């Protein structure tokens, strides 16, 4: 066994067989990898394929008849499954499958988990439930949180902000891709404050929540930093060894977004910037992760600045392997 802090945490779950839903997803894969390097018996709920290091339970949350075998003999469920939007989906948070997978799927899972004697559930929710969002994704997460809070099973809900540490997914990876292509503009300080969390810290928080049965209710998990689009873009450019340059004034972005809006309507195809995207860039999305850190003894392993060199090395390795 390695002495990586996550492996040490996972090992503490030793006597508790765990089930991971969403095990083939970005966070689920990493969680299963960490658990499988510890003595914890780990089962992955999968709709297809297999994952090395974990026993596979074939199942679909929207088909309750497939879940009994998956939950049998399980002490703790890490419930991470969520509808995964297709890449390029212009409205990823509005797909009707969010309701089916997150709400009906959670309802099905809770019913089966109760009947098989599951003792603890840790659910991956999103900080989107906190920002007034009315998208189907946010509404479904809110409904699932409510179902969990009403369940007799001991549950912890972890609300995650955007997760970084991936090379090809998430908005940090998108900005990194733009910077590599020389297309990342020097963003000004829009006055936005935003939260992020590293993949390994998301996993750390899931493990800590599983280990602390008294830690019920909903918690926000971040890397305890205070980001802005300006800080993120500067960090990316610095990691690439590029001079961040003088930020463009906000009015330039406003004009570009208006132009994007007009062109989008004329050409019927998405533009890199429109008013909705600009609003997303400027909208504050900071959440207080300190209460969880204090209650759970959570210490983030990463900041974006610390993680970027590794993300770049992973990207370089991926493109070497592809060529």
| Residues contributing to the site for ligand NAP (CB under 6 A) | 21-28, 45, 47-48, 60-62, 80-84, 101, 105, 124, 126, 160, 162-163, 170
3-class state of residue 121 by DSSP = strand
Give me Rg for the CA atoms of the chain: 20
Q: 160 or 256: whose CB is closer to ligand NAP?
A: 160
> Exposure of 243 by Cβ count < 10 A (0-12 exposed, 13-18 middle, 19+ buried)?
exposed
**Shortest distance, position 49 Cβ to ligand NAP, whole Å:** 8
**Shortest distance, position 105 Cβ to ligand NAP, whole Å:** 6
For 124, other C-beta atoms within 10 Å of its C-beta total: 26
CB 45 within 8 A of CB 21: yes
Q: 9 or 70: whose CB is closer to ligand NAP?
A: 70
**Shortest distance, position 128 Cβ to ligand NAP, whole Å:** 7
CA angle 62, 35, 156 (to 5 degrees): 55
Rounded-to-integer distance, Cα 117 and Cα 119, Å:
6
Rounded-to-integer distance, Cα 225 and Cα 219, Å:
16
**Shortest distance, position 51 Cβ to ligand NAP, whole Å:** 10
**Cα 22 to chain center, whole Å?**
11
Q: 144 or 256: whose CB is closer to ligand NAP?
A: 144
**Shortest distance, position 82 Cβ to ligand NAP, whole Å:** 3
**Shortest distance, position 62 Cβ to ligand NAP, whole Å:** 5
Tokens of 180: 């590599």
**Shortest distance, position 101 Cβ to ligand NAP, whole Å:** 4
**Shortest distance, position 8 Cβ to ligand NAP, whole Å:** 23
CA separation, residue 176 to residues 165, 182, 200, 231 (Å):
11, 10, 19, 13
Q: 9 or 202: whose CB is closer to ligand NAP?
A: 202
Q: 95 or 260: whose CB is closer to ligand NAP?
A: 95
**Shortest distance, position 251 Cβ to ligand NAP, whole Å:** 31
3-class state of residue 311 by DSSP = helix
Number of residue whose CB is nearest ligand NAP:
25
Q: 135 or 216: whose CB is closer to ligand NAP?
A: 135
CB 212 within 8 A of CB 258: no
Q: 61 or 304: whose CB is closer to ligand NAP?
A: 61
3-class state of residue 301 by DSSP = coil
3-class state of residue 101 by DSSP = helix
Nearest residue to 243 (alpha-carbon basis) of 163, 184, 194? 184
3-class state of residue 36 by DSSP = helix
Q: 28 or 260: whose CB is closer to ligand NAP?
A: 28
What's the residue count for the chain? 323
Rounded-to-integer distance, Cα 52 and Cα 75, Å:
21
Q: 187 or 287: whose CB is closer to ligand NAP?
A: 287
């Amino acid at each position: 066994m390695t002495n990586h802090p996550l492996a040490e945490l996972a090992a503490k779950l030793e006597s508790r067989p765990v089930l991971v839903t969403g095990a083939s997803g970005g966070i689920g894969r990493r969680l299963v990898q960490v658990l499988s390097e510890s003595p914890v018996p780990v089962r992955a709920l999968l709709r297809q394929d297999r994952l090395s290091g974990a026993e596979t339970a074939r199942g679909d949350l929207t088909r309750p008849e497939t879940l009994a075998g998956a939950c049998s003999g399980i002490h703790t469920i890490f419930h991470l499954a969520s509808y995964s939007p297709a890449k390029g989906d212009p409205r990823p948070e509005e797909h009707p499958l969010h309701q089916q997978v997150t709400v009906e799927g959670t309802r099905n899972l809770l019913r089966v988990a109760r009947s098989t004697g599951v003792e603890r559930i840790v659910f991956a929710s999103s900080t989107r439930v906190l920002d007034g969002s009315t998208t189907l994704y946010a509404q479904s997460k809110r409904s699932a949180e409510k179902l969990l809070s009403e369940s007799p099973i001991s549950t912890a809900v972890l609300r995650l902000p955007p997760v970084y540490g991936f090379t090809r997914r998430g908005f940090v990876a998108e900005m990194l891709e733009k910077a590599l292509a020389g297309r990342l503009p020097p963003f000004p300080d829009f006055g936005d404050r935003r939260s992020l969390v590293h993949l390994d810290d998301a996993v750390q928080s899931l493990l800590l929540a599983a280990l602390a049965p008294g830690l019920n209710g909903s918690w926000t998990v971040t890397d305890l930093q205070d980001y802005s689009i300006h800080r993120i873009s500067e960090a990316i450019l610095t990691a690439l060894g590029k001079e961040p340059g003088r930020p463009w004034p906000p009015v330039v972005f406003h004009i570009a977004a208006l132009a994007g809006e007009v062109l989008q309507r004329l050409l019927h195809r998405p533009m890199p910037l429109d008013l909705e995207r600009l609003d997303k860039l400027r909208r504050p999305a900071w959440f207080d992760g300190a209460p969880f850190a204090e209650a759970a003894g959570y210490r983030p392993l990463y900041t974006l600045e610390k993680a970027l060199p590794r993300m770049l090395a992973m990207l370089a390795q991926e493109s070497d392997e592809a060529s």
